[in-house]
Amino acid sequence: MIQNEVKETHEWAARCRSVVLRALDSLLAGHSRQKTLHRLRTHLRRLQAYLELVGEDRNAQIMAKCVSRLSSLRTLQVFQRYLTQVGAPNSDVRKVKDCIRRKRAKLDRKQVYRKIERRVRRHALPSTEVSTDWMAKRMERVREEHARTLQELIAKGMSNPPRKSLHALRLKIKSIRYQEEWALSQAYARPNLVGCLEDAQSVLGDYEERAQFRKLARSLDLKSCPTIVKDWRRARTCARALPGQLTEIIEALAGSCLRLVGSKSPSSHATVRSLGRALGRGPFHLPS
């Protein structure tokens, strides 16, 4: 019985691992679609979040390092698409394409995809035997811990927060979101919360991307730099306004275990609806 529970509990991680290995096979075969790299990094992050959830921090860190090795290439790919969308001069796009070619050649030369594949095969799946009851209790504890951590990160980001603080907040929200996605198949799922986490992650992610784009534009001396800087400022304004809206997520995570001063103890459904309205209509909402 316990073995069946373990199998069912880890099935989500096994599916993520399969997606990662298929993406790596494609990249090793020479395919260079942007979606493939994005899928690879996203599912590595999901594996990292799940390993953190079950308490295997060492393996989670290994997955995080795999993601980091691919970050610069992913940034360049997204930057190329962004330049095309904003109508940047062809000379700017060519410069970024040259950077992408050099980065791919470096990854191939250092056999990065092969090294990641070995680590995924060895470390991506939990070795710990856990039951569904243990996971339910673990999720409850982790939600309380996340609420406290978010409260600390938000406190640091309430008044003109630096990019580093907002980046840390984004990574934490992303990890929580992936863990909540795993829980969607469980009795204690909070589907409305997942959408709100995704929206918050998007606002912070836009700012982080624009900050990276601005740095690249300056280092490559791109003609479209003024446009990028203007977009970066707009994204920064949106991101800096976000922390003040996230108390709703904290309450949805912690429930009655952690109540913020002055709160009215709303239900989790009420809090996520409120946050959803704030994210959709607040002053920091990015235009589509």
Q: What are 5-37's pLDDT values in tens digits?
A: 445 568 889 999 999 999 999 999 998 889 999
Pick the more confident residue, 8 or 147. 147
Residue type at 33 in one-letter notation: R
pLDDT at position 35, please? 95
**Per-residue pLDDT for 256 more than 70?**
no
Q: Long-range pairs for 164-172 at CB < 8 Å and ≥24 separation?
A: 166/204, 166/207, 166/208, 166/239, 166/240, 166/242, 166/243, 167/204, 167/208, 169/204, 169/243, 170/201, 170/204, 170/205, 170/208, 172/146
Distance CA 8, CA 274 (A): 34
Q: Which of 77-91, 145-159, 185-199 has the lowest mean pLDDT?
A: 145-159
Residue 192: other Cβ atoms inside 10 A: 17
Contacts of 248 (CB under 8 A, 6+ apart): 196, 271, 272, 274, 275, 278
C-alpha R_g of the chain: 20
pLDDT at position 7, please? 53
Distance CA 160, CA 168 (A): 15
